[in-house]
A and B are shown apart, each in its own frame.
Chain A
Amino acid sequence: MQKKVLLNASQIDIIINRLVCQLIENHNDFSNTVLIGLQPRGIYLLDKLLNVFSQNHSDIEITSGNLDYSFFRDDFRRNEKTIKVKPSNIDISIENKKLVLIDDVLFTGRSIRAAMSSIDSYGRPESIELMVLIDRRFKRELPIEANYFGAKIDTIDGDKVSVVWGNNKVDNVVYIEK
């Protein structure tokens, strides 16, 4: 397989700053908004977003949490391996809140459906939006689209997109393997 850099560290940095600005445009003071990082990999993008908020927009108070949707996946008993469950950490009521689900890659849409089903067990939010770093177009199996995205890319079956978060900002990179 051929591995190609899709986004380098500075492009990712620009994207994350843009995504934060887009969130501010739509959510004003965030008093009724909760950002939810999806396990296992969306939590890293949430972390990066929170860093930008605390560095550049420290006047805005952000409420956030992490969600694992493993128990709501539609492929239980369809894999050879047991789905590895990660912790969920939502300590606040999401009743009537505006939620933004955050993940690294949007592919078939099945994970997002599972996450939306899972979030129901915490309450009934006013609305749910979706933010992803990479939107793999044309691969959707369900009618799900992102409200905020870093980059849209065209992929075919067998392509692998991996988002690597380094210890330092300069080590962040998105690869595509063809």
Chain B
Amino acid sequence: MEQLSVDNLLGIKYIKRDDIDLIFNTADHFKEVLNRPIKKVPSLRDITIANLFFENSTRTKLSFELAEKRLSADVINFSSSSSSIKKGETLIDTVNNILAMKVDIIVIRHPNPGAALLLSKNVESCIVNAGDGTNEHPSQALLDAYSLKEKLGDLDGKKILILGDILHSRVALSNIYALKLLNAKIKICSPLSLVPKDIESLGVSIENNLDKALSWCDAVNVLRVQHERMEKSYFPNNREYSLLYGLDKKRINNLKKDILILHPGPINRGVEITSDIVESKNSIILDQVENGVAIRMAIIYLLASKMNISKES
């Protein structure tokens, strides 16, 4: 397949296995570009991209912006804290105003699940979801799966554990969709209060004992406890969470095998993972960050390639 099956990247839920393969294959080439002395290609020199971040972000925003600039796109950044959103403007009005300035692609992060989908139905532009509430974070899932594939090879049958706050995590949901498309086996490990209802219907199993779960898996993706999304208390305190669900050196040393450790960031050191594990040889956290730029270049390049100039004129 040479083209994506979709015109927007709203979530992994909407794409196919072939799309993932195409994105990974294109990302391979962009990784090579990123290792050249001059790490830039001119493909998107006639494209303008707006990064609309209605929620805080460091890694994702920088990664998207760098990917866009490496592709030679013109980039404008928007953050809700310094915008007319504060004056009561609706999301669609805000975006339509930005599009009136001849913007071609919108990268959006929003606290409300479905925000990217809503935009794609109401505005004439290519939409890339950079995280919508607790729903999806497709580019993160793609870079996670790409980093896993780089280390483990084909993910068919590989055992991946997702550990932490599954309930509030868009990364978890997108990871589950992506890993299922790649035929990996998935387990989640979390306090029962942080397990979404009916999660098994997505084809994952639940293991509450972290040591058992770790001895099962080839890789573990550790997720942050998202206190900012919690309206009530889901577990007694951080110390208890850390004792039962925190990844530390003792747990890793007790395993009779090496497993890969991923974390999408930001990391709460000492809560879901200890510093020595973050910096251990098993950790591929910095590979994830590096691969993030290549994956996002691939996503934007492939979506832009479907925006044919003749159709515009």
> Using a CB–CB distance below 8 Å, which chain A residues touch chain B?
68, 70-72, 76-85, 87-88, 117, 120-123
Contacts and interface: CB of A to CB of B under 8 A. Distances in A.
Contacts of A123: 37
Nearest to B72: A71
A81 B304 CA distance: 12
A77 B307 contact: yes
Nearest to A84: B2
B249 interface: no
B41 A120 contact: no
A71 B306 contact: no
Interface of B is mostly: loop
Contact of A88 (B32, B38, B305): B32
Q: Which of B43, B307, B310 has the most CB of A within 10 A?
A: B43
B3 interface: yes
Contacts of B46: 77
Given A68-B29, A71-B41, A72-B41, A82 B308 contact: no
A122 B42 contact: no
A121 B39 contact: yes
Contacts of B41: 71-72, 121
A18 B15 CA distance: 51
Nearest to B304: A77
B42 to A, nearest CB: 6
B302 A82 contact: yes
Given A84-B2, A85-B29, A88-B29, A77 B308 contact: yes
A72 B42 contact: yes
Contacts of B42: 71-72, 117
B48 to A, nearest CB: 13
6 contacts: A70-B29, A77-B305, A77-B307, A78-B309, A84-B2, A121-B41
Contacts of B305: 76-77, 82-83
Contacts of A80: 308
Contact of A76 (B28, B32, B39, B43): B43
A77 B72 CA distance: 14
B180 interface: no
Size bracket, chain B contacts? 20 to 34
A81 B308 contact: no
Interface string B295-313: 0000001101111111000
B308 A71 contact: no
B61 interface: no
* Max count, chain B CB within 10 A of own CB: residue among A68, A70, A71, A78: A71
Given A76-B305, A122-B37, A82 B29 contact: no
B232 interface: no
B14 to A, nearest CB: 18
A165 to B, nearest CB: 23
B43 A81 contact: no
Contacts of A88: 29, 32
Q: Which 3 A-B pairs have the closest CB atoms?
A: A71-B41, A121-B38, A82-B305
B29 A87 contact: yes
A72 B38 CA distance: 13
B33 interface: yes
B256 interface: no
B36 interface: yes
A87 B33 CA distance: 10
A133 B300 CA distance: 36
Contacts of A117: 42
A117 to B, nearest CB: 7
Contacts of A77: 46, 304-305, 307-309
B274 interface: no
Contact of A121 (B25, B26, B36): B36
Contacts of B32: 87-88
Nearest to A75: B309
A40 B152 CA distance: 29
Contacts of B301: 71
Contacts of B304: 76-77
Most buried by A among B38, B40, B41: B41
A121 B33 contact: yes
A72 B45 CA distance: 11
Contacts of A121: 33, 36-41
A80 B307 CA distance: 9
Contacts of B308: 77-80
Contacts of A79: 308
